[in-house]
Structure 1
Amino acid sequence: MTLPSSSELLASAMRHYGLVAILRGVQPGEVIAIGQALYDAGFRVIEVPLNSPEPLASIRALRDALPADALIGAGTVIRPEDCAAVAAAGGQIVVMPHSDAAVIRAAKAAGMACAPGVATLTEAYAALAAGADVLKLFPAEALAPAVLKAWRAVLRPPVALLPVGGITPGSIAAYAQAGASGFGLGSALYKPGDSAVDVARHAADFMQAWRAAYPAP
């Protein structure tokens, strides 16, 4: 049986619940409990930013601990050479703050899905041409729902647009109405010092907001 690719897993995760957990600052010793809490809440994409303590160890721990339908990867990937290390740690997705085509190509060459950060339509189209799987609208604080709605006039589905930066449960509905495909969730979901119980509570709040904005057919 052919195993699904990272890009296929990402597409499936986006259809399931398009919420990406960003565990910036997480420690390897706590990441499994936090990751399990997220998985139990319905999350299927988890990223550990590379500016976290021992990020590759956390990525490996998550990949080894969680079921196969969870997509684990790295955030804040800014150099092409980082992609091979992420893949070697079991990473399946590279998330970037920018849209450097060299990083996108390196991620794809390593067999991973890639979500580059874009802030203009020019960057968006360049990232798609380089092989991006989804587009991270970053920072979302500077890209209001009205901007996303305008982008949707030319970036039609199945191109996935994910606002990231300052997203809270209360901001999901407006972006959903504007055409967001999903969201990257940072400090409102997890911040250093939060326990797995804290994360489970925050995750439940986000899931409630998601289900209200994206009712099942």
Structure 2
Amino acid sequence: MDLGIIGQAAGLFAVTNIDDILILALFFAKGAGHPGSTRRIVLGQYLGFTAILAVAVAAAFGATFLPGSAVPYLGLLPLALGLKAARQAWKDHRDGSEDRAEERSGEGGPSPLEVAAVTFANGGDNIGVYVPVLATAGIGGMSVYAAVFLVLVAVWCFAGRFFATRPVVAEALARWGHILLPLVLITIGLLILVEGGAFGL
């Protein structure tokens, strides 16, 4: 296996997904204390990134399932989830029912589909970067890129959980996470929409 390609794949993944560590840390903080939340977050991250990879590979082979003009509208996903989280945080704060809300939530923490939706939307612009790289890598190189990417998803999940469980960070996220998560999701959604020129913005 070519170490050069492995290094290039690792570098490409790191550069295009550095912001995911913050989002994952917020998700892990939200799921703290809820049994099975780590498994659900990791599953959601893999679902979202696998979808990105599948679209990029398909596009590299010439079957573009996601037109370039549609990519900016992926920003609606994190925007909607951020607004939903903000509404819930405001409702819990107003009712003084944060503890009861956690009890009602059953499993608690973000669902795999929520994490997958944010991961896919936030990484939608990465598809445009991945396609030419994968298209010129050939079948063998493409397989190496895919394998390295999928291994690094696990590393990213570990890093996100690591940061979320550091005492100082965990205390800050526990105190401000219910505000930060909606804020980050809404910001990501708006940035994707504005930078992509959605709705003529």
Whether TM exceeds 0.5 here: the answer is: no
Which has the higher relative contact order, 1 or 2, with Cα contacts under 8 A spaced 6 or more apart? 2
Q: Which has the larger radius of gyration?
A: 2
More helix by share: 2
Query: By percentage of residues, which structure has more strand?
Result: 1
